[in-house]
Amino acid sequence: MALVTRTFELYGKTYTLESGELAKQATGAALVKQGDTTALTTVVVSKERKNYDFFPLTVDFNEKLYAVGRIPGGFLKREGRASDKGTLTARMIDRPIRPSFPDGFRNEVQIVVTTLVADQTNPIDVISTMGASLSLTLGGVPFEGPLACVRIGRSGDSGEFIVNPTYEEIEASDLDLVLAGTRDFISMVEAGADEISEQDMLAAMEFGQRAIGAFCDEQLAFVDQWERENGPIQRREYPLDEPVPEVHDRIFTHYDEMAAALADADKLSRVEKVADLKARITAEFTEEERIAWEREIPVNLKKLEKQAMRTMVVETGERVDGRRADEIRPIMVKDAYLPLVHGSGLFQRGQTQVLSVLALGMLNESQRLDTIEPVEGKRYMHQYNFPPFSTGETGRMGAPKRREIGHGHLAERALLPVLPDESEFPYAIRVVSEVLESNGSSSMASTCASCLALMDGGVPIKRPVSGIAMGLIQENGKTVVLSDIQGIEDFLGDMDFKVTGTERGITALQMDNKATGLTFDILRQALEQARAGRAFIRGKMVDVLPEPRSQTRSTAPRIVSVSVPVDKIREVIGSGGKVIRGIQDETGASIDIQEDGTVYVGGTGTSVEDAVERIKLIVHVPEPGEEFTGRVVSVQPFGAFVSLLPGKDGLLHISRVAQGRVDKVEDVLNIGDEVRVRVLEVDDRGKISLDRIGKPEAPASSGGHDDRARRSSSDHERVRSHEDHGHGRPRSTSEHDGDRDRPRRSPGDRGCGVPRRHHER
């Protein structure tokens, strides 16, 4: 097998396809690159057909931290469960490939993507779909390929669309649109957007479809090159589940009964009626027939249900719950549903019910990400839970499944564009959506409930966001676009098209399409119908909660920010963190210091004000003329050191402690005495000279040498031994004030510079 490599350029980016050297025992394998970013994609198809009534496809996306030159954290020092980004990428590859296989394909297929190099410039996710498609093609696997996936961004300067933008280009774009499909139709869409119009979104999708075609052509060119060097690809034969006419005919005699069973608006009642009918139909077959046709019988029962539902919609214009095509189910909205929590919202649409709960925290509680992407963390976290009781079933509770991660990510993208900047609202934000009932569109209900929770919690979002799921039925030559689809319309329909946005435009979009006849005219109609549906739903929400509350709840932490000079950060932190730890312990506040000198202080009650005042005192530089009431912390032959502010002492010379000549400072002042002083001078080294306000008369017993009245250079030389050399100012001796925190450079700090961030609770 010869190594085949093809390098090409499309839309200003360079790509490489390669096969024939790595993973040769797989059914198919390909190396795909964008820039230096490299992914190895492999496909293995089992030799035996599985006894399933579904297509057993598995996609694994393996993030390897060696791809970015990092060692995994933790005790084991190896990659564990997939990150959310890895799970979302696996889903992104799965969704266009799954419907491309022929009906009745029952051999197990596993696609594995291994990240070899992540150059921190070019994303690896979209090119992995192209690699999977090429691996399937080279392996001779029957599917409707080639397939490709592209990301579309938009230049903020020129407004032109960008194909497969770099991370830097994505950051500057108001659109992040991912499409996958063939050169003829789109089968998968994911998008996040900054409130862009339906017209702009549709234009981006049309542009993306043409880009997909270009990448499909490059795959075909590679296959031609492969076959010239290695001979024709061996097209493998895989047995398919062939329809059995007798089974189909016997089952479809119950068509009218199925149509009647489906005409029930209540999901549980309808499901029970359909299940009873299927059980009765199955019982009509003999035991020998049920064994012989154990796959064909359930497959045809599903076909019966599907055709009855679809025909009802296109022929009568009425859906199984009696709604018209563009009608929204009844909506219930409640804000402030839970006490004490930081914010909550309940949203119900039909038989789908979601309770979203808000929690606010310090910015240092943001989620840290350990992935191959150049993203360190995220401040807004949206999580979605789908317990089995939400559909009236039993099941295992545990880690979130791929579907839950995907739905949570969609709701997160929907709300990100309207969140306030952290300079305006310096909080980490977590919203959890608990699905309590489900009958379709639970991710869109989560978006609406989470928007309510944010507004209820006083998060100053720009505008309310609502979401709706659209569907499509193409049957008997007719096409119907459905608004607010329920579970059966998603399961048996041709399209699941979710759209979220504000009154100004779209913020997120997700589509899975099974219909090859999906045109841009149909998409245009779906987007316009979705816009009207979103407006209706948003109206119901703002009727209950017109705008975000003016302030956060009393149970939420109050966070303020103060700015300190960068060169004062070490003083706020203190040696070994003693100062910042002391402030937190004494006030009860939490403190987070940024490397630019921004200090976030959070807490409840008066703890925030107390901590802010302490910090301001630490960084304050006394100026000549300022007056203080200080405490004597050290007494020397030449004068007394007086504490003015935390970490800042000044020298009150012996000549200024009293009216008249003083022989010993202790005759007038002792450690612990409070004294009112005025700043005379602050030199360029930070040394503070003081004068006493309201000097008392010197004691009659105090007398001494004349030269004690004026200390000169010899005194100042001795003063140096009491300066804080790390800050160029006087300090007290530790034995006189063991409770005071004096930030000094420790041996371990030398040469390290200012720490990037320090936080201790």
Q: Which residues are annotated as a binding site for Mg(2+)?
A: 490, 496
DSSP code of 750?
T
Supply angle C-alpha 367, 373, 376, rounded to 5: 30
| Residue 315 CA: distances (Å) to CA of 397, 480, 481 | 42, 10, 13
Do residues 114 and 250 make contact, with C-beta atoms less than 8 angstroms apart?
A: no
Task: List CB contacts of 316: < 8 A, sequence separation 6 or more.
Answer: none
Please tell me the distance from the alpha carbon of residue 267 to that of residue 271, in angstroms, as a whole number: 6
| Residue 453 CA: distances (Å) to CA of 350, 425, 508, 595 | 20, 16, 19, 32
Do residues 43 and 147 make contact, with C-beta atoms less than 8 angstroms apart?
A: no
Query: Measuring CA to CA, which residue among 17, 41, 38 is closest to residue 29?
Result: 41
Please tell me the distance from the alpha carbon of residue 693 to that of residue 560, in angstroms, as a whole number: 36
Please tell me the distance from the alpha carbon of residue 733 to that of residue 391, in angstroms, as a whole number: 70
- SS3 of 608-660: HHHHHHHHHHHHCCCCCCCEEEEEEEEEECCEEEEEEECCEEEEEEHHHCCEC
| Residue count (the chain) | 761
Residues at the binding site are 490, 496
Please tell me the distance from the alpha carbon of residue 7 to that of residue 605, in angstroms, as a whole number: 63
Strands 648-653, 688-692: pairing kind = parallel
Q: Hey, is 267 helix, strand or coil?
A: helix
Please tell me the distance from the alpha carbon of residue 570 to that of residue 593, in angstroms, as a whole number: 10
Do residues 507 and 416 make contact, with C-beta atoms less than 8 angstroms apart?
A: yes
